[in-house]
């Protein structure tokens, strides 16, 4: 892993207007992403977890400018070492970024155009960027398909002839076509069966070893994220509540929300005695977030202060590794990690 | 693991792959066609439509006389009955001459076949010169009588002695082409504006939506009537024809536009569109390569199901005297000419255009239904 | 038949006559549900879990779906009752559905009717099965909503499904299912569409209510971890057939069937930083199944015979059974 920033996100905000009535007046905003900052190092895998609707996909799509952020900067360091502010690029300038930042999508069915053959789907990024002629593109598609574990003869087939896992491989091949540096994986395995999910995870890991990709890996399954990521960011209601290295976040979480996520993970093995801990209530409406700390209505450690004052992001540094958490009581709380929640003691 | 076994396993899998390879790649188009073919009624509808368009397309070839030619001695003649059998058995088809009888009690004219006077029907014989599809002049007719001593009217004649075969086929040419062109305009306007509205959203969408709502708030038939009544009465019949096409298309598009907008809107959020965008595809590319092909099957279905409405629209307008003007003929014009109950009793064959209208409408509906089912090839 | 059996399924075969061919969605499946236990059914997408539960409810999608053979015996009455012999819409069957066996579905969104309020839907099911008048039915509806832990049930009772979140809808579904005190609750992927924190809430709720109502639960999911948390016995299904039956501890620590082992190896474990071992290939098309053992093309222990003959079910212990040639020599069951 090179010690170099690839992406730096600063105070990113994305608000979606809520329009109502005959005149479509703006009646308020969904604060899908509300003032988050983070960075991605070159060659690392960063996991982004959180409950559905908390803004994970929106964050990803602001980075590759599928969405134009409401405010904030996304700084990208290209292969020449120039730093480019992605949020300020015009449509034409964006073309240079698109090649470097690609995306893998969640839904193996809607992410491929059912009217196009696999060849056309995988070659599409090349075609829209006018790279190569038809013959060269076909060769490239051939290589890519082999690389993701499909056969060349499947090139003329149509998506409906493939299983979910194979379709996801096609999606991966398409993302690789432009030799990107960063791949935003938006829940790439959530819709797959476990046996196939493992295949795709292994594939992504192998590709990273081979090409040195950086991954922003969005998922809601914490075991998958823990498995694949070097660092993990936990998101709740448009904000990053905690970021830390993968090991630390699972062993000694600093934020109550992280602790409850860990407590909610079902553990099947009856020999691991684990008390399921669930977080009460539901995720609040993002257009009407609670005052003070977003987690206050559901937090088991809530105090009066939490309801009035939004917690600051606390930075902690240990052995040169920085981690952050946004809670008033980071230093006071003694939270349980996954190991402590799941004691390795035989049941009964 | 035993190496023999792995070998065998590999062999097995490659066998199944081979088997798969032999099945040709099935595109969605092929799947749709396969599904469509299974629907007998729809295929029948398609065949009937092709047949009718063929007939009206070559109207002058299939009709023995020009549509406006008045055969003075043959007014209000009922259709001739074609016979194949005579005393020598099966032979060349022929007709008998009609003899007029005047019933002194009921004061009605009846027609009886005079079995003495026989006229044989010949195929590909010569008639009056006409222009075939605008390419060249010819005088070959599909059928006719050899000499000019008697005339053949398979669907009878009207009160001026004009041949109904010719009038119905030529009228069909106008009626069916008007509805097709009307649908074409509707499709172009509807899908273009619908796609733009759905894809760009924002102000363009708001604006177009208001226009659509405004247009949809009028009932269709009065709107047609008002618009065609506004066409200047001194226009030539060709200009009126074009005017009617535009009216039918313009009144029809909002419904389609709205549907296309909904489809495109749904699709713009689909991940394959996002994927294209995130590799830098232009809006034009996305619209042309993804959005239109994916809404095309829907558009075709809607268009097919709209043709009957247009046929009826033309017929109603012309029936009311607001549409096509004589000397141009259409099915609506033909019906307008027999606007009274007496005709139904005395000259029922003049209502034959209705049958043609019904058959075309049903066929288009059957076809449209079949296309609709086939458009979703993965449903059962 | 021992007294603590509630439901018995013997050699059930439910087939679909699809245009592309015959789909044996459930093929020769046998199992028993004991009183008060939670039986887990686990397997990947399309392996016949939902069709098994629909067969028990006698709600196999018509006209393509047909129960071609086998029996489903309900032991909750004084005399055993064979469900497959009943007409789907008969009074006896409707009486069993809802009153005796209740089901909650995979999609909390689509299984509630969007045009009726939550209360109306619960009242409907209460009235249908237990002659109660309106006021009592409404009171029961509110009571059920409270029971499933919804805040302000008096208010929610008058809300429409779309006004609730996914987790709340699933609670409503559970409340509706339990409103008539069934003996057996079939939960088909009750938490698949939900976030982990909400999943934990729903699982808690189901455990609580099981004790309170003393009912059996058939928990269907593709998530072995959820099954492990909830159930005592597990059935592992693949391509319409049962591959392995065992106690939960044996599934996790002593699984016999290569498929079960493959599933366990595919699941990422927190803290264990080792490469996953996936099952290669993908679930075969049910209209184009391999010969012999259906798992053979993906199995890393396949023997020669596996490609030719379908393995019988072998009895490993009293409770553990595996349908696999590796156990040739053990007692055969079928
Ligand atoms: N209504 C139906 N018509 C035709 N085939 C069906 C129908 N319902 C299910 N099937 C087929 O039966 C098989 C088993 O389906 P089933 O719904 O039981 O799977 P499942 O194990 O519940 O999967 P999932 O985890 O996706 O819910 C599948 O191959 C499916 O295609
Ligand atoms: N295009 C959009 N228009 C309006 N609201 C949106 C749009 N995309 C996402 N949102 C809203 O933003 C919030 C965050 O969404 P998303 O980033 O997709 O969440 P996640 O990926 O974490 O599930 C949600 O409340 C969602 O409804
Ligand atoms: S600030 Fe308060 S409410 Fe928020 S997470 Fe910390 S303890 Fe909980
Ligand atoms: S029977 Fe053979 S192929 Fe099937 S699971 Fe057992 S070892 Fe594998
Ligand atoms: Mg998302
Ligand atoms: Mg299911």
Confidence of residue B11 (pLDDT cuts 50, 70, 90): very low
For residues B93 and A220, give the distance between their C-alpha atoms in angstroms, rounded to a whole number: 80
Confidence of residue B8 (pLDDT cuts 50, 70, 90): very low
* Most B CBs within 10 Å, among A89, A100, A113, to test the B interface: A113
What pLDDT, in 10s, does the model give residues C102-135?
988 877 666 788 888 888 888 887 777 777 778 8
For residues A113 and C216, give the distance between their C-alpha atoms in angstroms, rounded to a whole number: 45
Tokens 């009544």: give the residue: B229
Contact B13 C18 (CB under 8 A): no
Q: Average pLDDT over chain C, rounded to whole? A: 88
Predicted local distance difference test score (pLDDT) of residue A173: 94
Identify the CATH class of B167-375.
mainly alpha
Across the range C253-259, mean pLDDT stands at 95
For residues A32 and A118, give the distance between their C-alpha atoms in angstroms, rounded to a whole number: 34
Confidence of residue A81 (pLDDT cuts 50, 70, 90): confident
The top-scoring range by mean pLDDT among A86-95, B111-120, B296-305, C309-318 is C309-318
What pLDDT, in 10s, does the model give residues A124-133?
999 999 898 9
| Best residue for ligand 3 mutational test, from A239, A255, A295 (most atoms within 8 Å of Cβ) | A295
Across the range A32-49, mean pLDDT stands at 94
**pLDDT at position C305 over 70:** yes
Chain B residue with minimal CA distance to A178? B279
Contact B281 A124 (CB under 8 A): yes
Predicted local distance difference test score (pLDDT) of residue A23: 67
Residue-wise DSSP of B178-229? HHHHHHHHHHHHHHHHHHHHHHH-HHHHHHHHHHHHHHHTS-HHHHHHHHHH
Segment among A291-305, B152-166, B359-373 with least mean pLDDT: B152-166
Segment among A15-24, A300-309, C138-147 with least mean pLDDT: A15-24
Contact B16 C303 (CB under 8 A): no
| Higher per-residue confidence, A59 vs B81 | A59
Predicted local distance difference test score (pLDDT) of residue C110: 67
Among candidate residues A193, A195, A250, the one with its CA nearest the CA of residue A223: A250
What is the percentage of chain A residues whose pLDDT exceeds 70? Answer: 96
Confidence of residue B15 (pLDDT cuts 50, 70, 90): very low
Predicted local distance difference test score (pLDDT) of residue B1: 38
What pLDDT, in 10s, does the model give residues C175-218?
888 888 889 999 998 888 788 888 898 898 899 889 888 899 99
Predicted local distance difference test score (pLDDT) of residue A311: 94
Contact C270 A278 (CB under 8 A): no
**pLDDT at position B375 over 50:** yes
Across the range B171-177, mean pLDDT stands at 88
Across the range B354-358, mean pLDDT stands at 90
Q: How far is the CA of C47 from the centre of ligand 1 (A)?
A: 7
Q: Does residue C98 line the site of ligand 4, with CB under 6 A?
A: no
Across the range A145-168, mean pLDDT stands at 86
**pLDDT at position C254 over 90:** yes
Segment among A115-129, A252-266, C69-83, C134-148 with least mean pLDDT: C134-148
Predicted local distance difference test score (pLDDT) of residue C108: 62
Predicted local distance difference test score (pLDDT) of residue C13: 95
Domains of chain C: 35-53+89-234 (3.40.50.300), 242-332 (no CATH)
| A205 in C contact zone (CB under 8 Å) | yes
The 3-class secondary structure across chain C, one letter per residue, is CCCCEEEEEEEEEEEEEECCEEEEEEEEEEEEEECCCEEEEECCCCCCHHHHHHHHCCCCCCCCEEEEEEEEEECCCCCCEEHHHCCCCCHHHHHHHHHCEEEECCCCCCCCCCCCCHHHHHHHHHHHHCCCCHHHHHHHHHHHHHHCCCCCHHHHCCCCHHHCCHHHHHHHHHHHHHCCCCCEEEEECCCCCCCHHHHHHHHHHHHHHHHHHCCEEEEEECCHHHHHHHCCEEEEEECCEEEEEEEHHHHHHCCCCHHHHHHHHHCCCCCCCCCCCCCCCCCCCCCCCCCCCCCHHHCCCCCHHHHCCCCCEEECCCCCEEECHHHECEEECC
Across the range B230-243, mean pLDDT stands at 83
Q: How far is the CA of A56 from the centre of ligand 5 (A)?
A: 6
- The domain locations on chain B are 75-158, 167-375
- Two tokens, residue B131: 């222009």
**pLDDT at position A345 over 80:** no
What pLDDT, in 10s, does the model give residues C45-71?
888 999 999 999 998 888 788 999 999
Q: How far is the CA of C207 from the centre of ligand 2 (A)?
A: 33
What DSSP character marks residue B72?
G
The top-scoring range by mean pLDDT among A179-188, B82-91, C147-156 is A179-188
The top-scoring range by mean pLDDT among A56-70, B163-177, C275-289 is A56-70
| C280 in B contact zone (CB under 8 Å) | no
What is the percentage of chain B residues whose pLDDT exceeds 90? Answer: 7
Q: How far is the CA of A123 from the centre of ligand 2 (A)?
A: 29
Q: Average pLDDT over chain A, rounded to whole? A: 89
Across the range A190-201, mean pLDDT stands at 89
Confidence of residue B62 (pLDDT cuts 50, 70, 90): confident
Contact C297 B9 (CB under 8 A): yes
């Amino acid at each position: 892993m090179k010690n170099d920033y690839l992406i730096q996100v600063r105070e990113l905000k994305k608000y979606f207007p809520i329009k109502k009535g005959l005149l479509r007046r703006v009646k308020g905003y969904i604060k899908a992403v509300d003032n988050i900052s983070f960075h991605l190092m070159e060659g690392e895998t960063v996991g982004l977890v959180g409950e559905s609707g908390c803004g994970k996909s929106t964050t990803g799509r602001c980075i590759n400018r599928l969405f134009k952020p409401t405010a904030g900067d996304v700084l990208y360091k290209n292969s020449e070492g120039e730093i480019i502010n992605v949020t300020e690029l015009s449509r034409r300038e964006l073309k240079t970024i698109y090649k470097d930042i690609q995306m893998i999508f969640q839904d193996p069915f809607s992410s491929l155009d059912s009217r196009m053959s696999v060849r056309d789907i995988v070659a599409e990024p090349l075609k829209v960027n006018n790279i190569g002629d038809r013959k060269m593109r076909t060769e490239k598609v051939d290589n890519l398909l082999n690389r993701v574990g499909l056969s060349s003869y499947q090139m003329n087939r149509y998506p409906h002839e493939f299983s979910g896992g194979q379709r996801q491989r096609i999606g991966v091949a398409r993302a690789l076509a432009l030799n990107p540096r960063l791949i935003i994986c938006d829940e790439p395995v959530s819709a797959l069966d476990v046996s196939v999910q493992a295949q795709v995870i292994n594939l992504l890991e192998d590709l990273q070893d081979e090409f040195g990709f950086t991954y922003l890996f969005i998922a809601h399954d914490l075991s998958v994220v823990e498995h694949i990521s070097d660092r993990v960011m936990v998101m709740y209601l448009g904000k990053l509540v905690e970021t830390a290295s993968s090991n630390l976040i699972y062993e000694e979480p600093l934020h109550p929300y992280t602790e409850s996520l860990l407590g909610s993970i079902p553990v099947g093995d009856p020999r691991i005695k684990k008390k399921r801990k669930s977080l009460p209530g539901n995720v609040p409406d993002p257009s009407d977030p609670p005052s003070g700390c977003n987690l206050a209505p559901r937090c088991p450690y809530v105090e009066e202060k939490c309801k009035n004052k939004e917690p600051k992001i606390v930075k902690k540094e240990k052995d040169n590794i920085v981690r952050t958490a946004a809670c008033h009581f980071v230093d006071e709380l003694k939270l349980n990690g996954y190991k402590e929640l799941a004691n390795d003691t035989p049941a009964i | 693991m035993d190496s023999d076994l792995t070998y065998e396993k590999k062999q097995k899998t490659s066998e199944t792959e081979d088997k798969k390879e032999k099945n040709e790649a099935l595109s969605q188009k092929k799947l749709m066609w396969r599904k469509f073919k299974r629907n007998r009624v729809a295929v029948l509808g398609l065949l009937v439509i092709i047949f009718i368009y063929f007939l009206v397309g070559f109207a002058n070839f299939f009709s023995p006389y020009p549509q406006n030619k008045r055969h003075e001695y043959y007014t209000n003649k009922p259709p001739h009955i074609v016979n194949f059998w005579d005393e020598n058995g099966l032979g060349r088809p022929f007709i008998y001459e009609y003899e007029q009888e005047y019933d002194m009690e009921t004061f009605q004219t009846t027609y009886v076949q005079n079995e003495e006077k026989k006229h044989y029907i010949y195929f590909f014989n010569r008639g009056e010169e006409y222009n075939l599809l605008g390419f060249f002049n010819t005088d070959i007719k599909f059928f006719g009588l050899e000499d000019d001593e008697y005339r053949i009217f398979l669907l009878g004649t009207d009160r001026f002695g004009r041949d109904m075969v010719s009038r119905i086929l030529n009228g069909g040419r106008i009626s069916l082409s008007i509805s097709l062109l009307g649908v074409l305009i509707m499709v172009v306007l509807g899908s273009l504006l619908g796609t733009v509205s759905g894809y760009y959203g924002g102000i363009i969408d708001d604006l177009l939506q208001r226009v659509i709502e405004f247009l949809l708030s009028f009932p269709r038939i009065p709107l047609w009537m008002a618009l065609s009544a506004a066409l200047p009465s001194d226009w030539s019949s060709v200009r009126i024809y074009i005017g009617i096409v535009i009216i039918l298309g313009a009144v029809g598009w909002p419904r389609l536009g709205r549907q296309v907008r909904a489809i495109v809107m749904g699709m713009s959020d689909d991940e394959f569109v996002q994927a294209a965008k995130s590799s830098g595809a232009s809006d034009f590319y996305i619209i042309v390569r993804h959005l239109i092909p994916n809404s095309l099957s829907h558009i075709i279905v809607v268009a097919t199901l709209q043709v009957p409405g247009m046929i009826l629209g033309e017929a109603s307008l012309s029936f009311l005297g607001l549409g096509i003007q004589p000397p141009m003929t259409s099915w609506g014009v033909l019906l307008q000419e027999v606007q009274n109950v007496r005709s139904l009793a005395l000259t029922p064959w003049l209502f034959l255009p209705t049958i043609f209208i019904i058959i075309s409408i049903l066929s288009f509906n059957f076809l449209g239904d079949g296309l609709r089912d086939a458009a979703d090839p993965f449903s059962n | 038949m021992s007294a603590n059996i509630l439901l018995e399924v013997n050699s059930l075969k439910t087939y679909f006559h699809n245009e592309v061919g015959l789909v044996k969605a459930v093929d020769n499946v046998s199992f028993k549900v004991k009183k008060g236990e939670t039986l887990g059914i686990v397997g990947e997408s399309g392996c016949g879990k939902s069709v098994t539960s629909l067969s028990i409810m006698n709600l196999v999608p018509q006209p393509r779906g047909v129960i071609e053979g086998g029996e489903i015996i309900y032991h909750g009455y004084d005399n055993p009752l064979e469900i497959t012999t009943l007409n789907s819409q008969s009074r006896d069957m409707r009486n069993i559905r809802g009153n005796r066996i209740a089901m909650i579905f995979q999609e909390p969104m689509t299984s509630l009717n969007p045009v009726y309020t939550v209360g109306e839907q619960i009242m409907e099911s209460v009235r249908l099965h237990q002659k109660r008048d309106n006021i009592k039915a409404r009171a029961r509806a509110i009571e059920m909503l409270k029971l499933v832990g919804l805040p302000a049930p008096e208010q929610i009772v008058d809300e429409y499904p779309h006004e609730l979140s996914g987790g709340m809808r699933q609670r409503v579904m559970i409340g509706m299912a339990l409103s008539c005190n069934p003996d057996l609750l079939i939960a088909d992927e009750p938490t698949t569409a939900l976030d982990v924190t909400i999943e934990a809430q729903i699982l808690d709720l189901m455990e609580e209510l099981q004790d309170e109502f003393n009912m059996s639960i058939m928990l269907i999911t593709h998530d072995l971890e959820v099954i492990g948390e909830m159930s005592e016995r597990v059935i592992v299904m693949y391509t319409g057939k049962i591959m392995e039956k065992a106690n939960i501890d044996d599934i996790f620590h002593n699984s016999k069937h290569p498929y079960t082992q493959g599933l366990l190896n595919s699941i990422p474990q927190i803290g264990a930083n080792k490469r996953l071992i996936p099952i290669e290939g993908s679930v075969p098309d049910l209209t184009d199944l391999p010969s012999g053992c259906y798992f053979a093309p993906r199995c890393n222990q396949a023997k020669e015979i596996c490609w030719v003959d379908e393995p019988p079910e072998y009895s490993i212990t009293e409770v553990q059974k595996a349908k696999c040639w590796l156990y040739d020599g053990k007692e055969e069951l079928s």
